[in-house]
Amino acid sequence: MLENYLLEESVAYAKYGTIAKTAEVLGLTQPAVTHSMKKLEEELGVKLFIRKPNKLYLRKNGKYTAREAKKLINDNLDFTKKLNSLIKTRLP
């Protein structure tokens, strides 16, 4: 099972386009984000990036992964909100 932080970092990378900006926005180090991107690729068993010296580019399947990850994150947040609302309305 994929950990949420890997999905969140891939969504952020797709949005910001660089490891440096992704790390800055998420309050992480650049090596931590790079490690996460490699871990995500390993866990999925697919290459998500084209690697050039000092630059990463999302492959088509990397863009797809980020879009689907964003949906999963949003679904998880919606589920949590609905569950919390249900619990609050049923408690005295």
Name the average pLDDT for the chain.
93
* pLDDT recorded at residue 90: 74
- pLDDT tens-place string over residues 47-83: 999 999 888 899 999 999 999 999 999 999 999 999 9
* pLDDT recorded at residue 55: 86
Mean pLDDT along residues 38-45: 96
* pLDDT recorded at residue 77: 92
Are the C-beta atoms of 12 and 25 separated by less than 8 Å? yes
What is the second-level CATH architecture of the domain 4-90?
A: Orthogonal Bundle (1.10)
* pLDDT recorded at residue 87: 83
Chain mean position to CA 8: 3
In the block, tokens 């088509």 appear at: 60
At 58, phi and psi to the nearest 5? -70, 130
